[in-house]
A = this chain, B = another copy of it.
Amino acid sequence: MESNPSTMQEQSPCCLEITMEVHSVVPPPHKSTIQKLKTRLKETLFPDDPFRQFKGQPTKKKWVLAAQYIFPILHWGPNYNLKLFKSDIVSGVTIASLAIPQGISYAKLASLPPIVGLYSSFVPPLVYAVLGSSRDIAVGPVSIASLILGSMLTQQVSPTGDPVLFLQLAFTATFFAGFFQASLGFLSRLGFIIDFLSKATLIGFMAGAAIIVSLQQLKSLLGITHFTKKMGFIPVMTSVFHNSQEWSWQTILMGFSFLVFLLVARHVSMRRPKLFWVSAAAPLVCVILSTFLVFAFKAQHHGISVIGKLQEGLNPPSWNMLQFHGGHLGLSMKTGLVTGIISLTEGIAVGRTFASLMNYKVDGNKEMMAIGLMNMVGSSTSCYVTTGAFSRSAVNHNAGAKTAASNIVMSITVMVTLLFLMPLFHYTPKVVLGAIIVSAVVGLIDIPAAYHVWKMDKFDFIVMLCAFFGAIFISVQHGLAIAVAVSIFKILMQITRPKTVLLGKIPGTDIYRDLYHYKESVKIPGFLILSIEAPINFANSTYLNERVLRWIEEYEAEDPKMHSNSSLRFVILEMSTVSTIDTSGVSFFKELKQTMEKKGVELVLVNLVGEVMEKLQRSNEAGDFMKPDCLFLTVGEAVATLSATIKGQSSK
Contact = CB atoms under 8 A, between A and B. Distances in A.
Interface stretch (A278-286, A438-446, A572-580): A572-580
Number of copies: 2
A195 B488 CA distance: 16
Given A459-B582, A598-B359, A192 B496 contact: yes
A14 B9 contact: yes
B29 A510 contact: no
Given A356-B594, A364-B546, A488-B492, 13 more contacts: A2-B512, A2-B636, A4-B510, A5-B8, A13-B13, A13-B14, A47-B497, A195-B543, A364-B542, A457-B615, A459-B582, A460-B583, A513-B607
A491 B539 contact: yes
A556 interface: no
A254 interface: no
A509 B201 CA distance: 46
Nearest to A464: B583
A608 B539 CA distance: 26
Given A48-B550, A546-B48, A583 B198 contact: yes
A487 interface: yes
A16 B23 contact: no
Nearest to A595: B356
Nearest to A449: B583
A517 interface: yes
B26 A16 contact: no
Interface in A573-605: 576-577, 579-580, 582-584, 586-587, 591, 594-595, 598
A57 interface: no
B4 A636 contact: yes
A20 interface: yes
B2 A634 contact: yes
Interface string A503-520: 001111111111011110
A84 interface: no
A165 interface: no
A33 interface: yes
Contacts of A517: 26, 28-29, 609-610
Contact of A539 (B2, B195, B506, B583): B195
23 contacts: A1-B634, A4-B511, A6-B16, A7-B509, A9-B13, A9-B16, A9-B17, A21-B508, A43-B499, A44-B497, A47-B546, A47-B547, A195-B541, A197-B538, A198-B537, A199-B583, A364-B546, A456-B618, A491-B537, A514-B609, A516-B610, A577-B577, A577-B579
Given A9-B17, A494-B535, A23 B550 contact: no
A249 interface: no
A456 B615 contact: yes
A518 B27 CA distance: 8
Contacts of A498: 579
Contacts of A534: 535, 579
Given A195-B496, A491-B537, A497-B44, A17 B6 contact: yes
Nearest to A15: B9
A540 interface: yes
A341 to B, nearest CB: 15
A36 to B, nearest CB: 8
A455 interface: yes
Nearest to A44: B497
Given A29-B517, A455-B618, A583 B200 contact: yes
Interface in A1-57: 1-9, 13-14, 16-17, 20-21, 23, 26, 28-29, 33, 37, 43-44, 47-49
Contacts of A49: 550
A274 to B, nearest CB: 23
Nearest to A6: B17
Contacts of A9: 13-14, 16-17
Contacts of A538: 195-201, 487
A633 interface: yes
A453 interface: yes
Contact of A47 (B201, B459, B550, B576): B550
A540 B359 CA distance: 21
Contacts of A459: 582
Contacts of A535: 494, 534
Contact of A576 (B201, B491, B577): B577
Given A3-B3, A47-B546, A546-B48, A29 B516 contact: yes
Contacts of A275: none
Nearest 8 A/B pairs, CB to CB: A198-B538, A2-B510, A5-B16, A533-B579, A2-B511, A4-B510, A7-B508, A1-B2
B506 A23 contact: yes
Nearest to A534: B579
Contacts of A491: 491-492, 495, 537, 539
Interface in A466-498: 487-488, 491-498
